[in-house]
Amino acid sequence: MTHELKPIDQQVVAVVGSSSGIGREAALQFARQGAKVLVSARSEPGLTSLVDEIKRFGGVATAVVADVTVFDQVKAIADKAVEEYGQLDTWVHTPAVGLFATVDNINPEEFQRVIDINLLGQVYGAMAALPHLKREGRGALIHISSMLGRRSLPLQSPYCTAKHALEGFLESLRVELQHEKIPISVTNVMPASINTPFYNNALTKLGVKPSAPPPYYQPRLVADAILYVASHPTRDFIVGDAARAIDLLQRISPSLLDYLLLLVSFQLQRTNEPKSKDAPHNLYESIPAHDKVQGDFSKLVIPSFFDWLDMHPLIKWSAIASSVGLTLLALQNLSFGVT
């Protein structure tokens, strides 16, 4: 089934979770490329500053304050996009919260809250957007997951559980749409460690501010991937070369990866900055002070090579074909030299 998506400058895009981090950067980039943007999050101050920023460079944006754990509020995001701009072409769903603790230090209500936001919020987003995308006869559902949806880390069991379940949900949805012959692109974006305020906002029971195993990548890298898949139908998009390495190792030997994570992951998810479990976190309400794109780990950020290749498939496959050809030629020459 062919998915034909509109150019970005002809789209109406809803970006959910856009007050900070990846969502905020994606909303800015969509608006800069001419899309009409409906931005949403729990933080009204964050949305107000975002809409002001978009309008200052001539972009078009409208804000809806919403909590993704309440379906009617999520539905209102999609309905407002159609009411304001006449259509909905792309739905980008980014909200996520973090909880860093061992399983025996998490209470059931906390675990459930992470699932409600990180999984059910994603499900509600798809449910709210689908009727409008079906009416248009095409469009894109873009769900921001994580490489932790392919390979879990210790100390983040609720988050990893939600991200694994999200992949299962999207696989079911994708095949249902194919069965109905409805050309809606469903993309699972899986970033590596990204330098956003996620770690500032997380609830931690480690006694210190949490971190992610480095290296980190800037949110702009994920936003670039989101804009790419909004106009180029893509099943999965892994962001960050480190995430690709983890994905490959998980496929080759999960037990080896268990061993490596046992050696390093507990220490690498802890900073030296003390933080109490009673410190402010965003499990139940937003923290406007963290309504920004980048977090505190810029010194650990590196570039990613394969993201660029994935967004330029002709060059990527030409390079692969050339490499295979040179390898075969070398092997052939080697065989002729053997007596």
Residues with a known catalytic role: 159
CA distance 314 to 149: 28
Work out the number of other CB atoms within 10 angstroms of the CB of residue 255: 7
Tell me if 247 sits within 8 A of 151, measured CB to CB: yes
Helices (H) and strands (E) in the chain, counts: 12, 11
Q: Which residues contact 81 (CB under 8 A, 6 or more apart)?
A: 12, 14, 38, 62, 87, 88, 132
Q: Which residues contact 111 (CB under 8 A, 6 or more apart)?
A: 99, 157, 158
- Strands 270-274 and 203-204, bridge-based pairing: unpaired
Q: Which residues contact 212 (CB under 8 A, 6 or more apart)?
A: 193, 199, 268, 269, 297
Backbone angles phi, psi at 208, to 5 degrees: -140, 165
Q: Which of the 8 DSSP states describes residue 215?
A: P
The packing angle between helices 44-56 and 21-32, to 10°, is 30
Q: List 142's β-bridge partners, or say none.
A: 92, 187
CA distance 12 to 155: 38
CA distance 211 to 51: 30
